[in-house]
């Protein structure tokens, strides 16, 4: 799909919209493509999403905006009702997509949280094992010197691995948190009409 096909599909989805508002919307998205440039046309289309979803979002936003304005005439009130009806009929396309996106983000967030939790538990296990080995080494120090030195050395190694794993898990946790925030921002700002 190229720019013109995309704009034609969007215009087809918005054909019931008042002409003045339709031309504003099409002008906005045409300028969006102009700013993206010819070389970024496909990236812009992917970033915007399906024309049906944008149309649904535009109908919803226009209906909300027109509900907030005072009704000046019967025709204005009928336009508002018409836009609400269009938003309701457009929602069967948008709602499942939004619902699927929310579910995917929720599961990705859950998976990232479980991965972070596993890193934390591994670091705690290494630190606890290192401390136990260290203590056993000191207990054995006067009865079995070789075993005591081996246990103390193993304790130091496990403590070092535990501390390094704890540092890595904190850095990974911060990275995952930032990634999730970017994912939510991208999901909820995609294709917004300004």
DSSP character at residue 37: -
pLDDT, tens only, 2-46: 888 888 888 888 887 778 888 888 888 888 888 888 888 888 888
CA distances from 67 to 27, 84, 161 (A): 24, 9, 61
pLDDT, tens only, 42-59: 888 888 888 888 887 877
Which parts of the chain register pLDDT below 70?
Answer: 63-95, 187-194
Q: Where are the domains of the chain?
A: 3-95, 104-189
45: its two tokens: 């289309």
Asked whether 93 and 51 are in contact (CB, 8 A), the reply is no
Number of neighbours of residue 188 by Cβ within 10 angstroms: 12
């Amino acid at each position: 799909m190229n720019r013109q096909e995309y704009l034609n599909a969007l215009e087809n989805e918005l054909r019931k919209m008042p002409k003045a508002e339709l031309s504003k919307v099409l002008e906005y998205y045409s300028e969006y493509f102009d700013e993206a440039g010819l070389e970024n046309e496909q990236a812009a289309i992917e970033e915007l999403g399906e024309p049906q979803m944008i149309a649904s979002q535009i109908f919803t936003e226009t209906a909300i905006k027109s509900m907030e304005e005072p009704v000046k005439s019967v025709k204005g009130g009928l336009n508002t009702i018409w836009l609400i009806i269009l938003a309701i009929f457009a929602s069967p396309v948008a709602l499942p997509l939004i619902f699927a996106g929310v579910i995917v983000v929720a599961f990705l967030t859950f998976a990232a949280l479980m991965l972070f939790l596993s890193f934390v538990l591994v670091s705690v296990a290494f630190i606890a094992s290192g401390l136990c080995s260290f203590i056993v080494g000191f207990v054995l120090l006067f009865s079995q010197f070789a075993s005591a030195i081996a246990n103390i050395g193993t304790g130091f190694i496990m403590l070092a691995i535990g501390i390094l794993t704890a540092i890595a898990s904190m850095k990974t946790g911060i990275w995952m948190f930032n990634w999730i925030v970017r994912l939510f921002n991208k999901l909820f700002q995609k294709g917004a009409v300004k």
